[in-house]
Copies of this chain bind each other. A is one copy, B any other.
Amino acid sequence: MKEFSKMNAEEQAELYQQLLKEYNWYCAMGLKLNMARGKPDADQLALSDPMWTIVDEHTPMVGADGMDYRNYGLLFGTQEARKLMAEMMEVDWQNVIIGGSSSLVMMYDTIMRGMMFGMLHSPEPWFSCRDRKFLCLVPGYDRHFAITQDLGFELIPVPLFEDGPDMDMVERLVKDESVKGIWCVPKYSNPSGITYSDEKIRRLAAMETAAPDFTIMWDNAYGIHHLYPDQPEEIADIFALAREYGHEDRIIAFASTSKVTYPGAGIAALAASKANLDYIAKHMTHQTIGADKLNMLRHTLFLKDLEHVKQHMARHAALLRPKFELVLNQFAKEFDGCNIAQWTAPRGGYFITFDGPEGCAKRIVQLCADAGVVLTDAGATHPGKQDPQDRTIRIAPSLPPVEELSRAMEVFCLCVKLAALEKLQKN
């Protein structure tokens, strides 16, 4: 297709009318497609259904810790679950705490502990730091941003490049003592799908920060979520690097089985230095007696070890890959030559970042919604939901079946073109 901006007004108007006709045809279909969140689809969920009855009357109820899985106890979770998650997180099992079904809750608790008591090296609780700030990589994950926003942090946007954070900017910003931390999704980042380079990770580990309690929220949500398991992207060991510089306590890492087994009923984990774990335990012991050990047991029986986890994740990949490829192929075909859009081509994770023409993201999302296709809100990829260029949209291809996804993307591409033409006509 011809470059939109090189069409004359008449051509643009003609194309617009033609696309509008198509759009109205889709609207009349009464579609109801939801691509708002990164939810696994029904086939993916079914992969873990053997877990339902995996604990039965033959299952020993006492594990390595010598305690009944059904009763109270084990603040940090069962040894078996800690070992499983440690393998997935590439850390020592004694550095792991198993939580409930959500790593988001563990992140929230971590920030809340910082607010209330301070982190391990805090001079005072974060609550008492009136102009507290948190670095937010953009495009990024709305739920990360929302936690720190609700707790009164000023959110400072920092560009996320193809190989990780704009480290020059990060290094400059952390000279301010009131900058208390940064949210990171280091592998297959949400939503751009990029993976941090070793060099960027080393700089995060090495940099000197004015705040002694600067915290890297290392949300490795997609650490084993490769779309191409034969060519997995790997990241540097941030804990090992941080140890080199004496900054190990700076990092709190998170992972979960939400997109390995079940989003609503997985197990979550936090990994940190021994000193951090001791500090966390001091307060955590007042909060809980320990998370659901029967669910940990189900997971350790079902997932067994890293080798089995990888096999299981390859089955997820086989279901997800065609969806990602469908979206990317459709983008390539529909926007070829138009010069109105850019997008990322992730090799793992759950999202694609799409950049439309400036000032069009909200309009595109609205047009899609009017046609029955619900996308993640425009702006959600930016702190405070404010995308200053109004161009970035998070695409979540996982939930709809392939047929529906294909239909949804037809609608989406149409809406992008309509919005782009509307903008050109206005200029």
Chain A residues with CB under 8 Å of chain B are: 37, 39-40, 42, 45, 48-49, 52-53, 55-57, 59, 61, 68-74, 100-102, 104-105, 108, 112, 115-116, 125, 127, 143, 146-147, 150-151, 258, 262-265, 283, 286-295
Query: A293 touches which one: B61, B127, B265, B292 (CB < 8 A)?
Result: B265
CA distance A112 to B53 in the complex (A): 37
Q: Enumerate chain B residues within 8 angstroms of A48, measured Cβ to Cβ.
A: 70
| A151-B288 in contact given A52-B55, A52-B56, A53-B56 (Cβ < 8 Å) | no
A71 and B40 contacting across the interface, CB-CB below 8 Å:
yes
A70 and B151 contacting across the interface, CB-CB below 8 Å:
no
* Copies of this chain, tallied across the complex: 2
Query: A101 touches which one: B39, B53, B108, B292 (CB < 8 A)?
Result: B292
Chain B residue nearest to A297 in the complex (CB): B265
Chain B residue nearest to A67 in the complex (CB): B264
Q: Give chain B nearest CB distance to A160 CB in angstroms.
A: 22
Q: 8 closest Cβ contacts across the A-B interface?
A: A265-B294, A72-B263, A101-B292, A108-B287, A53-B53, A70-B262, A100-B100, A265-B292
Q: Enumerate chain B residues within 8 angstroms of A108, measured Cβ to Cβ.
A: 286-288
Q: Give chain B nearest CB distance to A48 CB in angstroms.
A: 8
Q: Give chain B nearest CB distance to A248 CB in angstroms.
A: 26
Q: Enumerate chain B residues within 8 angstroms of A105, measured Cβ to Cβ.
A: 287-288
| A289-B104 in contact given A70-B264, A264-B72 (Cβ < 8 Å) | yes
Chain B residue nearest to A293 in the complex (CB): B264
B264 and A102 contacting across the interface, CB-CB below 8 Å:
no
Q: Give chain B nearest CB distance to A283 CB in angstroms.
A: 6
Query: A286 touches which one: B57, B143, B262 (CB < 8 A)?
Result: B143
* Beyond A115-B116, A264-B289, 13 additional pairs, beta carbon < 8 A: A52-B55, A52-B57, A72-B258, A100-B291, A100-B292, A104-B287, A104-B289, A108-B286, A108-B288, A125-B127, A147-B286, A147-B287, A262-B294
B72 and A116 contacting across the interface, CB-CB below 8 Å:
no
Give 15 pairs: A residue, B residue, CB < 8 Å, sorted on A: A39-B71, A39-B72, A42-B68, A45-B68, A45-B70, A52-B57, A72-B258, A72-B264, A101-B291, A102-B288, A104-B287, A108-B287, A264-B289, A264-B292, A264-B293
CA distance A108 to B112 in the complex (A): 11
Q: Enumerate chain B residues within 8 angstroms of A52, measured Cβ to Cβ.
A: 53, 55-57, 59, 294
Q: Give chain B nearest CB distance to A129 CB in angstroms.
A: 12
Q: Enumerate chain B residues within 8 angstroms of A72, measured Cβ to Cβ.
A: 37, 39, 258, 263-264
A265 and B115 contacting across the interface, CB-CB below 8 Å:
no
CA distance A69 to B264 in the complex (A): 7
Q: Give chain B nearest CB distance to A216 CB in angstroms.
A: 20
